[in-house]
Structure 1
Amino acid sequence: MVTTETALKDAMTSIEGVIGVALVDYSSGMALGTLGGGKDLDLTVAAAGNTDVVRAKMRTMEMLNLKEGIEDILITLGTQYHLIRPVTGRAGKGLFLYLCLDRARANLAMARHQLKRVEGDLDV
């Protein structure tokens, strides 16, 4: 099990094409940790905005009476992939990992695989 800081560093170094990564509390929209980003990607704003995405999907699943959990949510832009992965396990309830990738440099399948590994190792 690894800490938030270690998990975010792992995502930044092991996933090709990462622009930024954050661990977010979707009950408050606050980022518990961020790494990367920059003038073109404000991770604090992204954390709050993607909280709305997660909440909307959770409400929709509840209305549809779907019992399975979300594995990940993918948002595809012209030059970027945005990947949202809820943290599983009791300690991670209400948290998600947010990953922004440069579409030209990233391998989406590998990024999903690596983010799943990072999420599995995370100890909050």
Structure 2
Amino acid sequence: MDALDSVLGEVLSAAGASGAAVVDAVTGLTYAESGDCAAAGSGSEVCRLLTLIDERLHEAGAEGELENVVVTGSRTYHVVHVVPRQGDPVLLSAVLDRADANLALAARQLAAVAGGLHA
């Protein structure tokens, strides 16, 4: 679990980050979480949302794999990065305060940190 804690710590170091989680993309099982993740919903809710988005994109003619999803709320951003790996992919999720976060920088940092989850 030290590797997961390290990854979550790096995510939480982003400006405005208040919560982070690693979730199995197929089952919705939350492997680890840190901070306040309540605004993001449960792991299974995040999986259902991403599955729905991915299906709709493919129906609309989009090609390729889903990489990131950003959900904006009135006070928060919820950024989810899909981490492909051998076996089931995992989701690296971050909750950011809109007033304090730089969304582009946080999304880039999340993608960089996701490299620590390739296993």
- 1:78 alignment partner, SS class: coil
How many matched pairs? 118
Q: 2:61 & 2:28 partners in 1: Cα distance?
A: 25
C-alpha contact (below 8 Å) 1:3/1:123 kept by paired residues? no
Moved over 6 A (4+): none
Q: Write the deviation string for residues 90-115 of structure 1: whole angstroms up to 9, x where unpaired.
A: 25x33111110001010101101100
1:83 to 60, 79, 83: 79
TM-score scaled by structure 1?
Answer: 0.82
Q: 2:22 & 2:10 partners in 1: Cα distance?
A: 13
Structure 1: tracts of 5 or more residues without a match: none
Give the corresponding residue for 2:66.
70
Structure 2: tracts of 5 or more residues without a match: none
1:119 to 91, 114, 117: 114
C-alpha contact (below 8 Å) 2:83/2:118 kept by paired residues? no
Say what the alpha-carbon RMSD is for the aligned residues.
2.1
C-alpha contact (below 8 Å) 2:79/2:93 kept by paired residues? yes
